Amino acid sequence: MKMFWSYARLDDMEPKRKVSKLRKAFENVLSQTQGTPCDVFFDRDSLHWGVAWREEIERSIRECDGIVAVVSPSYFNRRMCLYELQMAVEARKKIFPLYYRSCSELRSAFKEDGDEAEINRGLNSASLIITELQMMDFRELRNEKIGSKKVEDFLDRMAEVVS
């Protein structure tokens, strides 16, 4: 199974890199659930020096079985996150929203005028897909240790749903 991990880098800052650790733990649990090694695309680990990164992201989304969207205010403010979501929708990929940090609004609000009006309309439209999907709520576990029983139980449930 191949999954794509879509997140905002602002949510994965040093020194803790919580989103990176969560993704790695999810990949391990998903592999155990499947009984075979699974691959979860994560730009920091999956993109190699010298590759055309946008093309590699697009290829990975086309080839994945589904996408985990790590939902936060930063996610809705990053064009690349919403572009990944838009590509997943267009490719008819299963989308699994992971509610990571509370948002005042579950949508982007890029300006829909000027040179990028059409692009921004598409991104704003893609962001609304999240509101139509049931999310797995990780907000109260975000500050727990990845190895805690609560987080491990959450990841077990998440992997079962994805499988």
Rounded Cα–Cα distance for residues 40 and 4 (Å): 5
Q: How is residue 133 annotated by DSSP?
A: S
pLDDT band at 40 (very low <50, low <70, confident <90, very high): very high
The 10 Å Cβ neighbour count of residue 67 is: 23
pTM of the model: 0.92
Q: Would you list the domain boundaries of the chain?
A: 2-154
Q: What is the CATH number of domain 2-154?
A: 3.40.50.10140
The span from the CA of 1 to the CA of 88, in Å, is 16
Give Cβ neighbours of residue 12 (< 8 Å, ≥ 6 apart): 18, 19, 20, 44
Instruction: List, for residues 2-27, the tens digit of each pLDDT value.
Output: 999 999 999 999 889 999 999 999 99
